[in-house]
Chains A and B, each alone.
Chain A
Amino acid sequence: MEQLIGRLLQVGVLLAAVVVTAGGIALFAHYGSQPADFRVFVPRVAALRSVGGILAGARALDSRSVAQLGLVLLIATPVARVALTLVAFIYQRDRLYVAITTLVLALLVYGLVWGRA
C-alpha cells in the first residue's frame, strides 16, 4: 500500500510538471514580450478559474489553459492520494477510517470542483 501511495504521488507530480512545462514554454513564447505587471490583483476570465473551463481551453490548445491544467493536475495529486487511501481502508474493512477518509475526500473535492470554502 505504502509503495502504491508513493508511486501515485511521484507520477502525479511528474505528469503535472510535464504539462506545466509544455504549457509554460508555449505561454512565454507567445506572450513573453508583453510587460509583466502583477502589482494589482485582477481576477482572470472565468474560463481559467474553473476545472471545466480549463479543460475546454486546454483541448483548444490555449497555452494559458494548458499551463493551468498542469497546475490543476498538481492540486489533484494529494486528492488522488486521499482517494487511494480510502480504497485501502475499504479493502481492510476499517469502518472508522473509511468514514474519516471519506470526510476528508469530500471536503477536498468540494473545494476543487465548486470552489467555495
Chain B
Amino acid sequence: MSLLLFAALVAVGSFGAGLLGSLTGLGGGIVVVPMLTILFHVDLKYAIGASLVSVIATSSGAAAAYVREGYTNVRIGIFLEVATTVGAFTGAVLAGFVPTSALAVLFGVVLLFSAYRSSRPREEHVTAQPPHPWAVRLRLNGSYPTTDGMQPYNVQGVPAGFVMMFAAGILSALLGIGSGVVKVLAMDGRMQLPFKVSTTTSNFMIGVTAAASAGVYLHRGYIEPEIAVPVMLGVLGGALLGAKVLARARTDVLRKVFTVVVVVLAVEMLYKGVTGGL
C-alpha cells in the first residue's frame, strides 16, 4: 500500500471513529488504537502516539464549549490533574517495560468495561449531604446551572477520587486513551458530583492528562507524523460533524451500534493479546 492510500484510509476510519465517539459520548479515542493495530497493522507504539494526539484535539475542542456553559469545575479539574499527570508519567515509564501482549489484554478489558458502562442508565445524585473535609479545605464545592437556576453541590470522597485519577492517568499513557470512563467513575461514583459536572470536568482534564504522556512520547518517537496527521484530522473532523448533528441524531440506536463495535474490537484485542499476534 502506498503512503497516500494508507493516509486516506486511516483518515476515513478516524473520521468514523470521531463521529460515532462524539455522537455517543464515548469518545473516538478508544477505537483508534484497535483500528490502527488490527486493521492497518501499525505498531502499538505508533498507534498510542497518534491516538493521544487525537484525544487532545477532541477534548480541547469540546472543553472550549463546556467551560463557557459553566458546568466545568476548574478547581476540581486542576486539583485532580496533579493525580492524572503524575499517573501519566508513571504510565509512560511502565510503557517501556510492559509487554505488548499484556497491553492488548488490558486494552480489551478497558473496552469491555466502557461498553458495559455506556449501556447502563445514569442516575443523578442527591448532593445535599455534608461535604468531605478535604473538599472544604480545597474549596471544591461549587454550583452549576439548571433549569431552576444555579444549583449548589457538595463534594464527597476526595481521597478515593484522587487515587482513581492516578489510575486513570496510568491507563491513559499505557493505552493512548482519554480514560474518560475511569475519570467519570471517580467523579460521578466516588465524589458524587452532578452528572453534567463530572462529564464536563472529566473532558476538561483529558487534554492535560494526554498532553503529559504525549510530550514524553514525542521524544521517544511514538508520534509519527505520517500516522498522527490523518488520525488527528480525521477524528477532529468526525467529532465536529458529530457535535453539529447531535440534536437530530438517534443516539440510542447509535450507542448500540458503537457498543457492538467496541465489544468486537475488545474480543479481537483480547484474542491478539493472548495469542501474541499484535
- Map CB proximity to B onto A36-74 as digits: 1 under 8 Å, 0 otherwise: 101111111000111100000000000010011011101
Tell me if B89 is interfacial: C-beta within 8 Å of chain A.
yes
Q: Does A3 contact B229, Cβ atoms closer than 8 Å? A: no
Tell me if B227 is interfacial: C-beta within 8 Å of chain A.
yes
Tell me if B74 is interfacial: C-beta within 8 Å of chain A.
yes
Tell me if B218 is interfacial: C-beta within 8 Å of chain A.
yes
Tell me if B277 is interfacial: C-beta within 8 Å of chain A.
no
The distance from the CB of A94 to the nearest CB of chain B, in whole angstroms, is 8
Tell me if B3 is interfacial: C-beta within 8 Å of chain A.
yes
Number of A-B pairs, beta carbon distance below 8 Å: 199
Name the residue of chain A whose CB is nearest to the CB of B232: A20
Q: Pick the contact of B219: A3, A7, A50, A103 (CB < 8 A).
A: A50
Interface of A is mostly: helix
Considering the complex, which residues of chain A in the window 87-103 have a beta carbon less than 8 Å from any beta carbon of chain B? 96-97, 100-101, 103
Name the residue of chain B whose CB is nearest to the CB of A9: B64
Q: Pick the contact of B214: A49, A50, A75, A101 (CB < 8 A).
A: A75
Q: Does A44 contact B221, Cβ atoms closer than 8 Å? A: yes
Q: Pick the contact of B225: A23, A96, A100 (CB < 8 A).
A: A23
Number of interface residues of B (CB under 8 A): 65
Q: Does A108 contact B42, Cβ atoms closer than 8 Å? A: no
CB neighbours of A68 from chain B (8 A): 223, 225
Most buried by A among B40, B63, B218, B221: B218
Tell me if B7 is interfacial: C-beta within 8 Å of chain A.
yes
Q: Pick the contact of A9: B46, B53, B67 (CB < 8 A).
A: B67
Tell me if B79 is interfacial: C-beta within 8 Å of chain A.
yes
**Given that A20-B229, A108-B208, A115-B216 are known contacts, is A36 also in contact with B5, CB under 8 Å in the complex?**
yes
Q: Does B67 contact A5, Cβ atoms closer than 8 Å? A: yes
The residues of A with any CB-CB pair to B shorter than 8 Å are 2-3, 5-7, 9-10, 12-13, 16-17, 20-21, 23-24, 27-28, 31-36, 38-44, 48-51, 64, 67-68, 70-72, 74-79, 81-82, 85, 96-97, 100-101, 103-104, 107-108, 111-117
The 12 listed contacts between A and B (C-beta, < 8 Å) are A6-B68, A24-B229, A31-B226, A32-B7, A38-B226, A41-B45, A41-B221, A49-B218, A49-B221, A96-B138, A96-B139, A97-B75
The residues of B with any CB-CB pair to A shorter than 8 Å are 1-7, 40-46, 53, 56-57, 60-61, 63-65, 67-68, 70, 72, 74-75, 78-79, 81-82, 85-86, 89-90, 92-93, 138-139, 207-208, 210-216, 218-230, 232-233, 236
